Amino acid sequence: MNASETQDRLAIRDLIEDWAVLRDARLWDRFRKVWHDDGVMQATWFQGTADEFIKVSEEGYAKGVRILHFLGGMNIELEGPRAIAQTKMTISQRGPFDGVIADVVCTGRFYDFLEKRDGKWGLVLRQPIYEKDRVDPVDPSKTISLDQDILMMYPEGYRHLAYLQHKIGYKVKKDMPGLDGPEVEALYARGKAWLEGKGL
């Protein structure tokens, strides 16, 4: 690995770590800098531009929505000025399940499309992959009762997260990539095409 590639990898790692810390700290001016101007965020509860994501995240926080992120290992594929980064992560959200406050923890990966423009790496597209999730009451003496019709509307990888988001009024996307299946295979193909210089 040459010095230039090492610098690129370090810059990408810093960018991805900054995303999680700055987003959860709501330091939006600094958070905006990890994105290119045309950057797009995909999530269970939101799909749109980085600027729109900042706006709806702040609106949600004002309404009591609490979503936090934790990062694990990372894999970076570099091809000239383009990269695909996959980062192990958890998304946690606390909220009411019919009156019982509980934590949902969803494990997966951030699958990021990145590009170096004018010497600066930035996010062009973030597509999470949702692998598995669970819900636990904050008070272990409490019991959660879930509406199975709502729960089973959503894929296995994020159905408890989707349940909570559905209940608090978000329109949740039902075809996000999971641990396996056609959605994640299509995402891998899209990533390969990106590294080959094709458009999104």
Question: By the 8 A CB rule, do 56 and 6 touch?
Answer: no
* Mean pLDDT of all residues in 84-101: 95
Q: How many helices (H) does the chain have, and how many strands (E)? A: 6, 6
Q: How confident is the model at residue 200, as a pLDDT? A: 86
pLDDT in tens, 101-129: 999 999 999 999 999 999 999 999 999 99
Decide if pLDDT at 1 tops 90: no
Single pTM value for the model: 0.95
Range of the domain at 183: 3-192
Q: What is the CATH number of the domain that holds 100?
A: 3.10.450.50
In a domain, 199, yes or no: no
Assess if residue 118 is contained within a domain.
yes
Decide the pairing of beta strands 35-42 and 120-137.
parallel
pLDDT value at residue 115: 98
- 57 found inside a domain: yes
Residue 198 placed within a domain: no
Residues contacting residue 90 through CB under 8 Å, at least 6 positions apart: 69, 70, 72, 105, 106, 107, 108
Answer whether residue 68 shows pLDDT above 90: yes
Query: Average per-residue pLDDT in the chain?
Result: 96
Domain tally, the chain: 1
Instruction: Express each pLDDT in 135-172 by its tens digit.
Output: 999 999 999 999 999 999 999 999 999 999 999 999 99
Q: Decide if 84 contacts 69 (C-beta within 8 A).
A: no
Q: Does residue 200 belong to any structural domain of this protein?
A: no
